[in-house]
Structure formats: C-alpha cells, structure tokens
Structure 1
Amino acid sequence: MTSPVEALVQQLDSKADESYDARAELIWIGSDAIPAVIDGLPSLGGFGRLTAIEVFEAVGDPRCGPALIGLLHSDNPTVREWAAIALASLGIDAAVEPLRRAYRACLARATPPDWTEPDGIRWALTELGARSPVVPRLTARLRAIAADDAPGWPSAHFTEIINDLADHAQVILYSQFWRVDAGRTYDISGTALDWELDWTAPWEHLVDEARTWSLLEASGAPVGDDIFVAPTWIDRTDLHPER
C-alpha cells in the first residue's frame, strides 16, 4: 500500500502545478520524507528527479548524498548538473572524486566547457575545495575594492580584468552584468555578443580568441558605480585535467 509520502514522491513527476505542490509538501515534512524520496528516485523521470533534487537541497539532509552521487550518472545532462550543484550546496565531501569523474566524462563527450553542465561541476568542485581557480594578483586586487557582498567586479575595470586574466593564460567563457540598487541585485543585459570557441584549438589560441571577444564586449558593456561584472574563466587544467 502506498503511503501518503510515497504518493507525494510519485506526484513529483506530474504536471508542473501538481509537482510543485508535492515538492512544497515534502519540504514541509522535512527529513522524515527523505528516505521515501531516495527510494522513489529510480521510478521518476527527468522532471521528477530535478524536482527531487530541489527537495534534497531545501531540506538539507546529508543522507541524500549517495543518491545525488548516483544521479551524476544520469543520461540527462541537466539532472547531472543539478545533482553536482546540490552536492556542493550540501557540503558532501565524499562527492569530490565522483564529481571529478563526472567532469572528465563531460570532456570525453566533447561537451563545450562553457555549457552549463561542466560549469556547474566546476562550481561544485570549487565549493568543496577540490578546485582552485587561478586569480591573478591584479584581478584579486580589483575585486577587493568592491563591497564584500558585491556580485563581481566594478564594471569600470572590466578591460583591466580581461587583459589580466588573458596575460595569465586564462580563457574567459562569458561575463554577467549586475546592477545593485538599494541593496538589491538585478541581472542586466550586456552587449548580447555570442561567441563560440574551437575547443580543439591550442590553448594559446583559445586565450587570444577569448580576450578578443571579451574586449569587444567590454567596449559596449554597461558602466556605472552601481554596475558590476562577473566573468567566468577556466585554466588549462580545466580543459586537460590530470587523470
């Protein structure tokens, strides 16, 4: 006989409104619901598993760690990405090696490093202390002049940051712009440039291409005392990790 909690787990795969209602109820139940969510994962489709991951994160019960690690092998890239992010959010240290394997699997599938799955896995590894982004001295100093809660670097220094990163052989993947107004942060559009790098090219070529595109973006980017830029970049070791 299906228990009420098990029924809610199965409802995670329902239409959006029903799924969200089930998610809210499971989060309200809290840790007592986690075993049923874990047991029900194999029977859920992609949407249901994504919603289950949201339950795991909201409840914050470390018992879901092994289940999230298992989801790193999903055939759905979004499930893999969300599982990686949840593992880091929950501080599951045992996930470091599985995350490294998941990242190498991304590269083996020729997934571009600027896509969301590898980006999410890199973030997770960084949060768990297993990856240290290269932050050149000037970039670090320019970051320090912003408030601790600022969502990036002052946009007026964007060109300096681009050149500093490229001079230290870092490849800029993309940049996000934010406006801070009365303590609230808003995502704002940049120049809408959309570039693609040839990831089979030599690393030095990738650095130069990313610099060129980023400087072009900087030439038309929004600037103001309340505007910040948050570039995302990778090191050579991110594209060619040690095995």
Structure 2
Amino acid sequence: MTSHIERLVQQLDGDAGVAYDARAELIWIGADAIPAIIDGLPSLGGFGQLTAIEVFQEVTDPRCGPALIGLLNSDNPTVREWAAVALASLEIDGAVEPLRRAYRACLERATPPDWTEPDGIRWALTELGARSPVVPPLTARLRATAADDAPGWPSAHSTEIVNDLADHAQVILYSQFWRVVDAGRTYGISGTGLDWELDWTAPWEHLVDEARTWSLLEASEAPVGDDIFVAPTWIDHTDLYPER
C-alpha cells in the first residue's frame, strides 16, 4: 500500500487527467496518505504541490501543518498563496508568525498589495484572528442590512461604502459584484471593466484619494439591483507598513 501511495504522490505532477485521478484517490485514502504526501512534497513541481495542498485541505489532517508552513518559502508565489489559505482553512496551530513573515517578505519583494498572494495571506491572518480589518461604522451598518449569507453589501450602497472607507483612510483595492439567484446561489458578474493601478510608492493619503476616485467611478457604472451585491476589498495603512 505504501508504494502505491508513493506512486500516486508522484502522479500529482502528471498531466491534468492523471493528477486529478491521483488527487481523488489520495483524498479517498485519507489520513493514511498524508505522511507519504508530506515526504514527497520536495520532489514535486509547482503543479504537484498545488494539487497536494488541495488534498491536505480535503483530508483536514493537522499533520500537514509543518509542510504547509514550509511551502510559504516556496519560489512559486501561487504555492505560497495556496499554502497560506490552507493554513487558515485548517486552523493550523503556530501558523500566525510564519504567515506574518511571509507577508513581510511579500512587501520586501515589492509585491503589489492587490495581487493574489498578499491578498491570500491577509485573508489567512484575518481568519486566524491575527488581523482585524478596519470596518467604519456606516459600512458596518450597511452590511447589517443584508442577509447573513449575502456575498457582500447591497450594490445600491456602493457610493456610500466607497466614501465611508476613504473617509476612514482605507485604500480600496478592488470590488467584486455578485448576483444572488434562487435558492441562495451566487455567481460573479462583470463589473465596469475598469482596471486601475496604484503607485504604491506614493504617500498613503494619495493612495486613499486615488482609490476613492477610481472606486467612485466604478460605483457610478456598476450594475445595481435588489439581487446584486458588491464586495470591496480594502487595506489599512498598517497592512502596507506592518509592525515588525
């Protein structure tokens, strides 16, 4: 059985079909497969490691924690991002400090804060209780008007939310728009097509103003309806300049 599991682990680096089948079988084997996956991680390429992370998340075995922490030092930014998300999803003990180091490393590499890796690490830190997003009072009240399972704020309040966040010195990175259909199902819908880039070397106040301008323009052109919700993502000054 051990040799069979080891072969499956190596197949995680195969073409999509082979890797998918190996992933499914490893998930079916469950906890018994975890030690072999951990041992085989260093020999896998980026695709194989990403697939292994998916197995870890499905099996939910805490023994994968140290391996996931190790992947935060990968040369592959997507592997680092997925490892961070998995650490939070699995609530791995001892993950907070490695995640903080990984986030500082992102900033030292000058990775833009709106890219997926720092976004994923911030999400992980928030989920683990190590980061508290700034939620201004008006934004909090407007969120409370939506159902608990709503994917954001009612889109009719987009302009109010943008101004409230900017008035409290928050930089809006981007917004996602969702439509809720029957049975509570949601799907993403296209927004305005606007795509802006911020100069992260600029002073914080300038970033706040620029993000407000672009976000207000987006809000003015965004779809609106009782079934449409907006989910903005924003950061605080402390996310760009974290304490060491």
Q: Paired residue for 2:202?
A: 201
CA distance in 2, matches of 1:228, 1:99: 30
CA distance in 1, matches of 2:142, 2:219: 16
Q: Paired residue for 1:10?
A: 10
The 3-state SS of whatever aligns with 1:94 is coil
CA distance in 1, matches of 2:83, 2:213: 34
Contact 1:93 1:128 in 2 (8 A): no
Does residue 138 of the first structure (1) align with residue 142 of the second (2)? no
Matches within 5 A, 1:22-171: 22-171=22-171
1:28-81 deviation line (CA, Å, top 9, x unaligned): 000110000000001000000000000000100000000000000000000000
CA distance in 2, matches of 1:45, 1:191: 37
CA distance in 2, matches of 1:142, 1:31: 43
CA distance in 1, matches of 2:2, 2:157: 59
Measure how far apart 1:149 and its partner are: 0.1
The 3-state SS of whatever aligns with 2:231 is strand
Residue identity in the other structure for 2:32: D
Measure how far apart 1:156 and its partner are: 0.1
Measure how far apart 1:93 and its partner are: 3.0
Q: Paired residue for 2:223?
A: 222
Residue identity in the other structure for 1:83: A
Work out the percentage of aligned pairs sharing the same amino acid: 88
Q: 5+ residue gaps in structure 1? A: none
Residue identity in the other structure for 2:46: G
Residue identity in the other structure for 1:175: S
* TM-score (structure 1 length as normaliser): 0.99
CA distance in 1, matches of 2:62, 2:159: 42
CA distance in 2, matches of 1:201, 1:179: 35
Q: Paired residue for 1:173?
A: 173
Residue identity in the other structure for 2:178: W
CA distance in 1, matches of 2:155, 2:229: 5
Q: Structure 1 runs of 4+ off > 2 angstroms?
A: none
1:90-122 deviation line (CA, Å, top 9, x unaligned): 001311000000000000000000000000000
Residue identity in the other structure for 1:78: T
CA distance in 2, matches of 1:195, 1:27: 40
CA distance in 2, matches of 1:46, 1:120: 17
Measure how far apart 1:2 and its partner are: 6.8
Q: Paired residue for 1:233?
A: 234
CA distance in 2, matches of 1:95, 1:192: 37
Residue identity in the other structure for 1:74: S
Number of aligned residue pairs: 243
